[in-house]
Amino acid sequence: MSVVNPSIVRRPLPGVLPDLANNLHPLLTRLYASRGVSNASELERGAAGLLPFSSLKGIDAAVQLLCQALTQQQQLVIVGDFDADGATSTAVLVTGLKALGFKRVEYLVPNRFEYGYGLTPEMAELAVAQGAELIVTVDNGISAIEGVALAKKAGVKVLVTDHHLAGAELPAADAIVNPNQPGCTFASKALAGVGVAFYLLLALRAKLRQQGYFTPELKEPNLAELLDLVALGTVADVVPLDANNRILVYQGLMRIRSGKCRPGIQALIDVANRSAAKLTASDFGFALAPRLNAAGRLDDMSLGISCLLARDLGLARQYAAELDSLNVERRAIEQSMQTEAQAFLSQLSFDGAELPECLCLYRHDWHQGVIGILAGRIKEQFHRPTIVFAQGDEGELKGSARSINGLHIRDLLEEISSHYPGLIKKFGGHAMAAGLTISAERLDTFKLALSLTAKKHLTPEQLTAVIYTDGELPADCFDIGFSQLLQNAGPWGQAFPEPVFDGEFTLISQKMLADKHLKMMLQTPTGTLVDAIWFNANNKAWPNVNVQKVQLAYQLDINEYRDKQSLQLIVRHMQAL
Q: What is the CATH number of the domain that holds 75?
A: 3.90.1640.30
HSE value, Cβ hemisphere, 13 Å, CA-based, for 47? 16
Rounded Cα distance, 427 and 410, in Å: 8
Question: Using CA atoms, how far apart are residues 563 and 577, in angstroms rounded to an integer?
Answer: 36
Q: Is the pLDDT of residue 140 over 50?
A: yes
| Average pLDDT score over the chain | 93
Domain hosting residue 492, numbered range: 466-576
- Under 8 Å between Cβ of 516 and 463: no
Above 50 in pLDDT, residue 1?
A: no
Are residues 248 and 154 both part of a single domain? Answer: yes
Q: Give the Cβ contact number of residue 430 at 10 Å.
A: 18
The one-character DSSP state at 493 is: B
More confident of the two residues 503 and 562: 503
The more confident residue out of 21 and 481 is: 481
Task: Specify the CATH number for the domain of residue 393.
Answer: 3.10.310.30
Instruction: Give residue 369's pLDDT.
Output: 92
Please tell me the predicted confidence (pLDDT) of residue 350. 52
Q: Which of 11-20, 51-60, 327-336, 418-427 has the lowest mean pLDDT?
A: 11-20
Task: State how beta strands 517-523 and 501-513 pair.
Answer: antiparallel
Q: What is the pLDDT of residue 110?
A: 85
Q: Are residues 399 and 517 in the same domain?
A: no
SS (H, E, C) 166-207: CCCCCCCCCEEECCCCCCCCCCCCCCCHHHHHHHHHHHHHHH
Q: In the chain, how many domains are there?
A: 3
Mean pLDDT of 400-413: 94
How many Cβ atoms are within 10 Å of 238's Cβ, its own excluded? Answer: 18
The helix (H) or strand (E) run that includes residue 324 is helix 313-347
364 and 253 co-located in one domain: no
Average of per-residue pLDDT across 552-561: 92
pTM of the predicted protein model: 0.93
pLDDT digits (tens, 9 = 90+) for 202-219: 999 999 999 999 999 889
What pLDDT is attached to residue 351? 47
Domain-located, residue 154: yes
Report the pLDDT averaged over residues 176-197: 97
- C-beta contacts of 489-492 below 8 A and 24+ residues apart: 489/28, 489/31, 489/32, 490/246, 490/250, 490/280, 490/281, 491/235, 491/241, 491/246, 491/249, 491/250, 491/253, 491/280, 491/281, 492/241, 492/281, 492/282
CB atoms within 10 A of CB 36: 12
| Judgement on whether residues 382 and 447 belong to the same structural domain of the protein | yes
Return the higher-pLDDT residue of 563 and 123. Answer: 123
pLDDT at 354: 66
pLDDT tens column, 518-543? 999 999 999 999 999 999 898 888 99
Q: Residue 56 domain-assigned?
A: yes
Rounded CA separation 57/63 (Å): 12
Q: What is the model's pLDDT at position 4?
A: 62
Inside any domain, residue 90 = yes
449 & 491 share domain: no
pLDDT at 512: 94
Domain boundary among 409, 435, 455: 455
| Residues 138, 93 contacting (CB under 8 angstroms) | yes
In a domain, 163, yes or no: yes
- In sequence order, the 6+-apart residues with CB closer than 8 A to the CB of 81 are 87, 89, 109, 110, 117, 118, 138, 139, 140, 193, 296, 301
Contact 104, 132 (CB under 8 A): no
442 and 472 together in one domain: no
Final residue before a domain boundary, out of 423, 455, 487: 455
**pLDDT for res 397:** 96
203 lies in some domain: yes
Amino acid residing at 285 = G
Would you say residue 338 lies in a domain?
A: no
With pLDDT > 90 as the criterion, what percentage of the chain qualifies?
84
For residue 317, tell me if it sits in a domain.
Answer: yes
320 and 418, same structural domain?
no
pLDDT grade for 6, boundaries at 50, 70 and 90:
confident
| Position 341 confidence tier, pLDDT thresholds 50, 70, 90 | very high
Judge whether 530 and 547 are in contact, CB under 8 Å. no
The alpha carbon dihedral of 175, 178, 180, 184 has a sign of positive
What confidence category does residue 98 fall into, taking pLDDT thresholds of 50, 70 and 90? very high
**Which residues, including other chains, have CB under 8 Å from residue 508's CB and lie 6 or more apart?**
520, 521, 522, 523, 529
Instruction: Looking at the structure, tell me whether residues 470 and 449 fall in a common domain.
Output: no
Residue 349 has pLDDT above 70, yes or no: no
Query: Residue 117: its pLDDT value, please?
Result: 80
Same domain flag for 506 and 544? yes
Residue 352 banded pLDDT, cuts 50, 70, 90: very low
- 1 domain-assigned: no
Same domain assignment for residues 193 and 216? yes
Please identify, among 324, 343, 364, the residue that sits at the C-terminal boundary of a domain: 324
Q: Average pLDDT, stretch 395-401? A: 95
CATH number of the domain enclosing 473: 2.40.50.460
Lowest mean pLDDT among 200-214, 301-315, 438-452, 552-566: 552-566
Q: Do 291 and 173 reside in the same domain of the chain?
A: yes
Q: According to the model, what pLDDT value does residue 283 have?
A: 96
Q: Note whether 442 and 483 are same-domain residues.
A: no
Q: How confident is the model at residue 348 (pLDDT cuts 50, 70, 90)?
A: low
Instruction: Return d(Cα 147, Cα 305) in angstroms, integer.
Output: 23
Residue 346, pLDDT score:
80
List, in sequence order, every residue forming a beta bridge with 157; answer none if it has no partner. Answer: 134
